[in-house]
Amino acid sequence: MTTGLKGPPDVGVPVDYRAALPSGPRRLGTRRAVLLLITVTGVWAAFHLQLDPRGLIPDGGGLRLAGRFFGAALTPALTYEASFVPEGAPPFLQKVINAMAVTVSFAAAASSLSLIFGVPLAFVSSQAWWASGDEGAGARRVIHAVGPVVYGVSRVVIGLSRSVHELLWAVLFLAAMGLTPLAAVVAIAIPYSGTLAKVFSEMIDEAPRDTARALRDAGAGPLSVFFFGLLPRALPDMLSYAFYRFECALRSAAVLGFFGIPTLGLFIRESFTNAQYHEVWTYLYAMFALVLVADAWSGRIRRRLVA
């Protein structure tokens, strides 16, 4: 067998193994440098923020509070913890279930809205939407004229909507519109539309192109190729991601409760300020249950679609 190595190995002279490797950029070196850079950045950030692991150990009062809070985890409240309950208040569990329902409805409304805006935005911000080349001369002129503009604008819109967190949008909208459900839903839907559009467009662009090519070879027009050749290949991933975003929307809706909309977050805050930790845990478990159910549901649908 010829190996191409220089020099017989049994003479004790080190074989110049590098000469036997193909020349070209040494990728391995770059990778090491990147790894080093990441480590250095992490250490620098820790020093800059003066992070001290000893800060994790609470002092006497804090320790007692933490003990009480985590101790309550094993015994979540089933009835009101307070001795005084206002007249006409619903039973505690009823109140929890109501809060769950409100959280789900906010998340569902925000998710639907973000799909309505995110999906078309994803189409026009994907490369595949603009790159077909099979259209007629007239259509091509229009695409050449408006394509780059629409593509660029959609990318900017996506960037802007994503760069501001839903909590900041909420502050803005609640100030402008007051404490309305619509304000909260729109606050969640804006950054979610941007995120969906960005991720969906990437999924569309990364989907296998073979079906699209086959349909083009069967004479299908650009729209048909996109919707029946490309989109179906990206759909399982898109669906799975949409469900994940619904899960995120559940959390966001809960957190917006801190601003006063009657989702789980509102009651978590109320019980927490009143030091009713057993109630807090009931709400936390309710949240956990919601996410779990959403996850199981998305898993079932995805299995039906993919496996």
Partner 1 sequence: MIRPAGDTVRPADDRGMRLEAVTVRYRGLAALDGVSLRVAPGERVGLVGPSGAGKTTLLRVFNGSVRPSEGRAVVLGHDVSQLSPAGLRRLRSVIGFVHQDLSLVPNQRVVRNVLSGKLGQRSFAGSVRMMLFPRRLEELHVHGILERVGVQEKMYERTDRLSGGQRQRVAIARALYQEPVALLADEPVSSVDPARARDTVDLLTSISREQGLTLCMSLHNLALAREFFPRLVGLRHGRVVFDGPTAELTDAQFDDLYHLAREEMLADGNGNGAAVPPGVL
Distance, in Å, from the CA atom of 285 to the CA atom of 281, rounded to the nearest integer, reads 6
Q: Which lies closer to partner 1 via its Cβ, residue 66 or residue 218?
A: 218
Q: Which lies closer to partner 1 via its Cβ, residue 33 or residue 218?
A: 218
Q: How far is the CB of 9 from partner 1 (least distance, A)?
A: 23
Q: How far is the CB of 232 from partner 1 (least distance, A)?
A: 5
For residues 194 and 157, the answer to whether their CB atoms sit within 8 Å is yes
Q: Which lies closer to partner 1 via its Cβ, residue 136 or residue 159?
A: 136
Distance, in Å, from the CA atom of 83 to the CA atom of 54, rounded to the nearest integer, reads 39
- Name the DSSP letter for residue 262: S
Q: Which lies closer to partner 1 via its Cβ, residue 48 or residue 303?
A: 303
As a residue count, the chain comes to 307
Residues contributing to the site for partner 1 (CB under 8 A): 134-137, 140, 210-211, 213-221, 223-225, 227-229, 232-233, 235-236, 305-306
> How far is CA 204 from each of CA 194, 227, 237, rounded to the nearest angstrom?
15, 10, 9
Q: How far is the CB of 135 from partner 1 (least distance, A)?
A: 6
Q: How far is the CB of 129 from partner 1 (least distance, A)?
A: 14
Q: Which lies closer to partner 1 via its Cβ, residue 46 or residue 210?
A: 210
Distance, in Å, from the CA atom of 115 to the CA atom of 99, rounded to the nearest integer, reads 24
CB-based contacts of 214, cutoff 8 Å, min separation 6: 229
235 burial type by CB count under 10 A (0-12 exposed, 13-18 middle, 19+ buried): middle
Q: How far is the CB of 118 from partner 1 (least distance, A)?
A: 21
Two structure tokens written together for 270: 């109320």
Q: How far is the CB of 141 from partner 1 (least distance, A)?
A: 12
Q: How far is the CB of 305 from partner 1 (least distance, A)?
A: 6
- Name the DSSP letter for residue 232: H
For residues 253 and 107, the answer to whether their CB atoms sit within 8 Å is yes
- Where do the DSSP E strands lie in 162-243? none
Q: Which lies closer to partner 1 via its Cβ, residue 29 or residue 138?
A: 138
For residues 109 and 261, the answer to whether their CB atoms sit within 8 Å is no
Q: Which lies closer to partner 1 via its Cβ, residue 40 or residue 306?
A: 306
For residues 182 and 213, the answer to whether their CB atoms sit within 8 Å is no
Q: How far is the CB of 127 from partner 1 (least distance, A)?
A: 19
Q: Which lies closer to partner 1 via its Cβ, residue 135 or residue 270?
A: 135
Residue 127 one-letter amino acid: Q
